[in-house]
A and B are shown apart, each in its own frame.
Chain A
Amino acid sequence: MDKFSGMKYLKKNDAVLLGFAIVLFALLQGLISGKVLSSFWQLNVLIIGINIIMAVSLNLINGYTGQFSLGHAGFMAVGAYVGVVLTTNFHAPFVVALLAGGLSAAFLGFLIGIPTLRLNGDYLAIATLGLGEIIRIVIMNIEYVGGAAGFKGIPHHTNFAWVFWLTVIALFFIKNFVNSTHGRACLAIRENEIAAESMGINTTKYKVLAFAIGAGFAGIAGGLFAHCFYLISPNSFTFMASFNYLIMVVMGGMGSITGSIAGAFVVTFLSAALASWPEFRMIIYALALIFLMFYRPQGLFGYMEITSMRPLNRIFGRPGEKKEGGRTDG
Chain B
Amino acid sequence: MAEAKKESKVLLEAKDVSEVFGGLKAVSDFNFYINKGELVGLIGPNGAGKTTAFNLFTGVYQPTTGEITFGGKSIVGLKPYQITQRGVARTFQNIRLFSELTVLDNVKIAFHDHVKYGVLEAVLRVGRYYKEEERIEQEALKLLDIFHLKDKAGELAKNLPYGAQRRLEIARALAAGPKLLLLDEPAAGMNPQETQELMEMIRWIRKKFGLTVLLIEHDMNLVMGICERIYVLEYGMVIASGTPEEVQKDPEVIRAYLGGEG
Among B131-139, B198-206, B237-245, the stretch in contact with A: B131-139
Query: B92 on the interface (CB 8 Å rule)?
Result: yes
Q: Are B122 and A199 in contact (CB under 8 A)?
A: no
Partner of A199, one of B99, B130, B141, B172: B172
Min CB distance, B7 to chain A, in Å?
28
Select from chain A the residue with minimum beta-carbon distance to B108: A184
Q: Please, how many angstroms separate the alpha-carbon atoms of A313 and B60 in the complex?
A: 44
Q: Are A180 and B97 in contact (CB under 8 A)?
A: no
* Chain B residues closer than 8 Å to A177, beta-carbon distance: 119, 122-123
* Chain B residues closer than 8 Å to A184, beta-carbon distance: 105, 108-109, 112
* Chain A residues closer than 8 Å to B111, beta-carbon distance: 181
* Chain A residues closer than 8 Å to B97, beta-carbon distance: 191-192, 195
Q: Are A7 and B81 in contact (CB under 8 A)?
A: no
- With A7-B134, A198-B84 already in contact, the answer to whether A187 and B109 are too (CB < 8 A) is yes
Query: A10 on the interface (CB 8 Å rule)?
Result: yes
Among A71-79, A80-88, A201-209, the stretch in contact with B: A201-209
* Chain A residues closer than 8 Å to B132, beta-carbon distance: 181
* Chain A residues closer than 8 Å to B173, beta-carbon distance: 199
Q: Are A201 and B112 in contact (CB under 8 A)?
A: yes
**A181, A188, A200, A209 interface centre (most CB from chain B within 10 Å):** A200
Query: A320 on the interface (CB 8 Å rule)?
Result: yes
- With A187-B101, A199-B110, A202-B81 already in contact, the answer to whether A194 and B96 are too (CB < 8 A) is yes
Q: Are B98 and A303 in contact (CB under 8 A)?
A: no
Partner of A176, one of B101, B123, B153: B123
Query: B80 on the interface (CB 8 Å rule)?
Result: yes
Partner of B122, one of A176, A198, A303, A319: A176
Query: A197 on the interface (CB 8 Å rule)?
Result: yes
* Chain B residues closer than 8 Å to A6, beta-carbon distance: 134, 137
Select from chain A the residue with minimum beta-carbon distance to B136: A181
Query: B5 on the interface (CB 8 Å rule)?
Result: no
Query: B261 on the interface (CB 8 Å rule)?
Result: no
Q: Are A180 and B96 in contact (CB under 8 A)?
A: no
Q: Are B176 and A199 in contact (CB under 8 A)?
A: yes
Interface string of B63-82 (1 = CB under 8 A from A): 00000000000000001110
- With A14-B125, A198-B58 already in contact, the answer to whether A187 and B136 are too (CB < 8 A) is no
Min CB distance, B95 to chain A, in Å?
9
Q: Please, how many angstroms separate the alpha-carbon atoms of A197 and B130 in the complex?
A: 25
Min CB distance, B233 to chain A, in Å?
22
Q: Are A209 and B119 in contact (CB under 8 A)?
A: yes
Q: Please, how many angstroms separate the alpha-carbon atoms of A303 and B92 in the complex?
A: 26
Min CB distance, B200 to chain A, in Å?
22
Q: Please, how many angstroms separate the alpha-carbon atoms of A191 and B108 in the complex?
A: 14
Q: Are A1 and B151 in contact (CB under 8 A)?
A: yes
Q: Please, how many angstroms separate the alpha-carbon atoms of A196 and B115 in the complex?
A: 15
Partner of A173, one of B123, B130, B176: B123
Partner of B98, one of A7, A195, A203: A195
* Chain A residues closer than 8 Å to B150, beta-carbon distance: 1
- With A6-B134, A7-B133 already in contact, the answer to whether A191 and B101 are too (CB < 8 A) is yes
Min CB distance, A4 to chain B, in Å?
6
Select from chain A the residue with minimum beta-carbon distance to B114: A200
* Chain B residues closer than 8 Å to A221, beta-carbon distance: none
* Chain B residues closer than 8 Å to A1, beta-carbon distance: 150-151, 153
Interface string of A1-14 (1 = CB under 8 A from B): 10010110011001
Q: Please, how many angstroms separate the alpha-carbon atoms of A303 and B158 in the complex?
A: 14
Query: A183 on the interface (CB 8 Å rule)?
Result: yes
Q: Are A200 and B112 in contact (CB under 8 A)?
A: yes
Q: Please, how many angstroms separate the alpha-carbon atoms of A194 and B113 in the complex?
A: 16
Can you report 30 A-B residue pairs in the complex whose CB atoms are below 8 A from each other? A4-B137, A4-B141, A6-B134, A6-B137, A7-B133, A7-B134, A10-B125, A11-B130, A176-B123, A176-B124, A177-B119, A177-B123, A180-B133, A181-B108, A181-B111, A181-B112, A181-B136, A185-B109, A188-B98, A191-B97, A194-B92, A197-B80, A198-B58, A199-B173, A199-B176, A200-B112, A201-B113, A202-B79, A303-B100, A319-B137
